[in-house]
Chain A
Amino acid sequence: MFELLGIAPQVLMGQLLLGLINGSFYAVLSLGLAVIFGLLNIINFAHGAQYMMGAFVAWMLLNYLGIGYWPALILAPLVVGATGVLLEKLALSRLYKLDHLYGLLLTFGVAVILQGFFRNYYGISGLPYQIPAAMAGGQNLGFMFLPNYRAWIVVASVIVCLGTWFMIEKTRLGAYLRAATENPALVGAFGINVPRMITLTYGFGAALAGFAGVLAAPIYAVNPNMGADMIIVVFAVVVIGGMGSIIGAIITGYGLGLVEGLTRVFYPEGSAVVIFVIMAIVLLVKPEGLFGRAA
């Protein structure tokens, strides 16, 4: 009954799972981009580098300090978030009065520095990071084998996405945040420290990227280029979804991951570019993006 177009169910399900995992990373990363964009109006080009940094911090914690995966899942995002706060305070905050493109250029420079730095000290061959013992092994579902760690990635990313969505849409803090997105001057007049909120928002977005990096560390080799390759695809995801809505960014991320997985089954050569092709189609049909507000 699973014999679809002569493709074995194991293959189809396996690729769909792979797609869902990629989609988890797309969702968390584009969510971070959307959160930052909402308040700061800049595109954080360093997002990929911060994702890579999260993976490296987890690796360093393990190899230099003997701190394992679970604490790293909290600590590494905090470290990355702290560097984000520093970056916003020292550099980004000086650019808000200028064209938003300068923010893009600045974060691009930061990405180049971070990437060059890790390449200098750790090479490009990639460092191994063990899957945590509690997550080793897998489940036999009858029609396919599901590795525990991969299931965990999907679960963890869904929790983080929904948590962020809940925080922004349903809590008082989120209400301040949304208000500041609409009209920062008015929110400031109500006695809320908007600059600090902006700083923390950037730090939070960076931390999300770092979290995704830690999740990725055990399944992809920890490698200075892992972020750059990822972030360009995530940019396409963001263009397709539009950055107007948090939930839109999440749905687009998972959806495109699945589409990519399906493409790998039916037309493997096209899997690297299918997201870009979808982007081209979306630009033709609905230029503002699937969930975007009219530009």
Chain B
Amino acid sequence: MMALTKNQALEPAKQPSSIGMPLLHKVIFLVLLAFLLVLPFMVYPVFAMKVMCFALFAAAFNLLLGFGGLLSFGHAAYFGGASYIAAQAAKVWGFTPELAVLSGTLAAAVLGLVIGALSIRRQGIYFAMVTLAFAQMVYFFALQSDFTGGEDGIQSVPRGDLFGLVSLQDNISLYFFVLVITFGGILMLYRIVHSPFGQVLKAIRENEPRAISLGYQVNRYKLMVFTLSATFAGLAGATKSQVFQLASLTDVHWSMSGEVVLMTLLGGMGTIFGPLVGAAFIVSMQNYLATFGAWVTIIQGFAFVIGVLLFREGIIGVIARIIKRPL
């Protein structure tokens, strides 16, 4: 309660109440949901599931960067780490899909808590370097330990039966499983951003010394948002391992950490819908430009450079500025 009143004092008066979803956002979410319900009948469902997993991943990353103001360069550790645990759970321990995803997510949460507790001891660019270094440690672990299968990864993970009842062998039924997880995850992230907790985060991002002087335990908030972000990144990674029936080194590699930064940057950091658009954009680009081989990497590098130099607001950021509403 105390935190709520304090944080309202921090809020500029002209902003509308953050409690309850604005009509515009409600409409967008409903349209998006309607679109996603028919999508698997229009495009290849596995492609659509990949987009949704990355959308959740980018949204989770955006919670940390866009709303917490912390640039982590090691989010692949939670995404990939969770995908390994979920794959192991489904394949070796014989877990049902929802339990496999849950165990991967939990593992990411614990990993995020530990790495976050160490990383928030440094700020700014040091923070980015520290998170990157720890992620590399996770990468080496995945490369060297036995259960992860080294270069091969964990392959042919069974899709299993949801709650032990509903078979997910079929792409369409798996699609709706993934839809519930990712859409639910994104709604939860929305709720976190617009909660009193989210408002305190905003205050810390805008003016950390002032937030400290108002009596907030800034480091606790940072650790909390780091852990939450890692958890949702893990949820995305664990789900992805069920879709592709594979956990591999690609998911823990530093280039994956870079990709999620790019998705968030292009879509618009600090916006609700930006990361989703950015993820859809990048995954589609990788998909449709796959014939160009390694050029895709170079194009992504240029997208990074151009995005930083000329397009820092991102796609949704620009739209939000034009229609003068937060998106």
Contact = CB atoms under 8 A, between A and B. Distances in A.
Q: Identify whether the interface residues of B are mostly helix, strand, loop, or mixed.
A: helix
A116 B294 contact: yes
Contacts of A108: 73, 258, 261, 304
B125 A100 contact: yes
A45 to B, nearest CB: 9
Nearest to A279: B133
B129 A236 contact: yes
Contacts of B134: 276, 280
B71 A104 contact: yes
Which of A91, A100, A276 counts the most chain B CB atoms within 10 A? A276
A239 B301 contact: no
A226 to B, nearest CB: 14
9 contacts: A91-B305, A105-B304, A109-B304, A109-B305, A109-B308, A116-B297, A269-B144, A276-B137, A283-B118
Contacts of B130: 239, 279, 283
Size band of the interface chain A makes with B: 35 or more
Contacts of A276: 133-134, 136-137
A102 interface: yes
B294 A119 contact: yes
Size band of the interface chain B makes with A: 35 or more
Interface string A106-121: 1011111111110110
Nearest to A123: B294
A124 to B, nearest CB: 9
A276 B132 CA distance: 10
A232 B254 contact: yes
B9 interface: no
A109 B255 CA distance: 11
A110 B133 contact: no
A101 B128 contact: yes
A161 to B, nearest CB: 21
Interface string A15-50: 000000000000000000000000000110000000
A236 B140 CA distance: 14
A95 interface: yes
Given A106-B309, A120-B298, A273-B140, 4 more contacts: A95-B308, A106-B304, A111-B301, A272-B140
A283 B121 contact: yes
A106 B306 CA distance: 8
Contacts of B302: 109, 113
Q: Which 3 A-B pairs have the closest CB atoms?
A: A109-B304, A113-B301, A112-B301
Nearest to A87: B305
B300 interface: yes
A43 B305 contact: no
Contact of B128 (A104, A110, A115, A228): A104
Given A43-B128, A113-B302, A283-B130, A239 B136 contact: no
B144 A272 contact: yes
Contacts of B261: 105, 108
B305 A116 contact: no
A227 to B, nearest CB: 12
Given A239-B133, A272-B140, A280 B118 contact: yes
A108 B141 CA distance: 24
Contacts of B129: 43, 235-236, 238-239
Interface of A: 42-43, 91, 94-95, 98, 100-102, 104-106, 108-117, 119-120, 228, 232-233, 235-236, 238-239, 269, 272-273, 276-277, 279-280, 283-284, 287, 295
A236 B74 CA distance: 13
B317 to A, nearest CB: 14
Contacts of B86: none
B304 A94 contact: no
A283 B121 CA distance: 7
A280 B71 CA distance: 18
Contacts of B73: 104, 108
Contacts of B307: 105, 109
A105 to B, nearest CB: 5
Contacts of A105: 261, 265, 304, 307-308
Contacts of B297: 112, 115-116, 119
B14 to A, nearest CB: 25
Nearest to B140: A272
Given A120-B295, A280-B118, A283-B130, A100 B124 contact: yes
A113 B298 contact: yes
Given A235-B129, A235-B133, A283-B130, A228 B301 contact: no
A16 B312 CA distance: 47
B250 to A, nearest CB: 14
A295 B123 contact: yes
A42 to B, nearest CB: 7
A42 B118 contact: no
Nearest to A119: B294
Nearest to A269: B144
Given A116-B295, A239-B130, A280-B118, A101 B124 contact: yes
Which of A95, A98, A105, A280 counts the most chain B CB atoms within 10 A? A105
A232 B133 contact: yes
Interface in B302-327: 302-305, 307-309, 312
B163 interface: no
A277 B130 CA distance: 11
Interface string B277-299: 00000000000000001110110
Contact of B122 (A101, A111, A115, A239): A239
B249 to A, nearest CB: 13
B312 to A, nearest CB: 7
